Amino acid sequence: MKRFLLAVTILTGLSMATEHKVTYPKEYRTWTHVKSMVINDAHSLSDPFEGMHHIYANTKAMDGLKKQDYKNGATFVFDLLSAERSKEATVEGERKFVGVMEYNNTKYPKTGNWGFEAFAGDSTDKRVVKDSGVSCFQCHVAVEKKSYVFSEYRK
């Protein structure tokens, strides 16, 4: 019995220590473009989200948007660029970060089954999220009834 309890303690400790990291989705620009929007300096989330947003979804995420039922591997990308404004137009500037939201019901149970990460600028490995996505998830709780996803399927 003591060996069993020791083994359970060791295994539990190992599983708690294992941090699941969201990977950078290199081909996201080939995915479905879900929407774009601009957040300006008057928005409550302008720091750090001021700029031009483009949201992309892979095939599993698109299926989830349509059915409101997400499967492991569903991934959204939030591509945030600075917005360069002139008198005539607002255009994309430098990339601020690439945010990634990945569904996995075994890896991320504490954050609604979604893993969150952001990669700085044009980097594919410089991670910005320091709290395993908890701060990201706090905003997504507002849309819990939509499986924590702000975007909607638009026909």
Q: Is the residue at 15 inside a domain?
A: no
Is the omega angle on the peptide bond into residue 48 within 30 degrees of 0, that is, cis? yes
Q: Is the residue at 136 inside a domain?
A: yes
| Angstrom distance (rounded) from CA 54 to CA 6 | 49
Q: Is the residue at 101 inside a domain?
A: yes
116 C-beta neighbours (distance < 10 Å), count: 24
2 C-beta neighbours (distance < 10 Å), count: 6
pLDDT digits (tens, 9 = 90+) for 59-92: 999 999 999 999 999 999 999 999 999 899 999 9
Residues 6+ apart with CB under 8 A from 61: 31, 70, 74, 75, 76, 103
Q: Is the residue at 55 inside a domain?
A: yes
Cβ-count burial of 136 within 10 angstroms (0-12 exposed, 13-18 middle, 19+ buried)?
buried
Q: Is the residue at 59 inside a domain?
A: yes
Number of folded domains that form the chain: 1
| pTM of this structure | 0.85
pLDDT digits (tens, 9 = 90+) for 15-30: 344 568 999 999 999 9
Q: Is the residue at 12 inside a domain?
A: no
pLDDT digits (tens, 9 = 90+) for 85-138: 989 999 999 999 999 999 999 999 999 999 999 999 999 999 999 998 999 999
* SS3 assignment, position 24: coil
Look up the domain containing 32 and give its range: 22-146
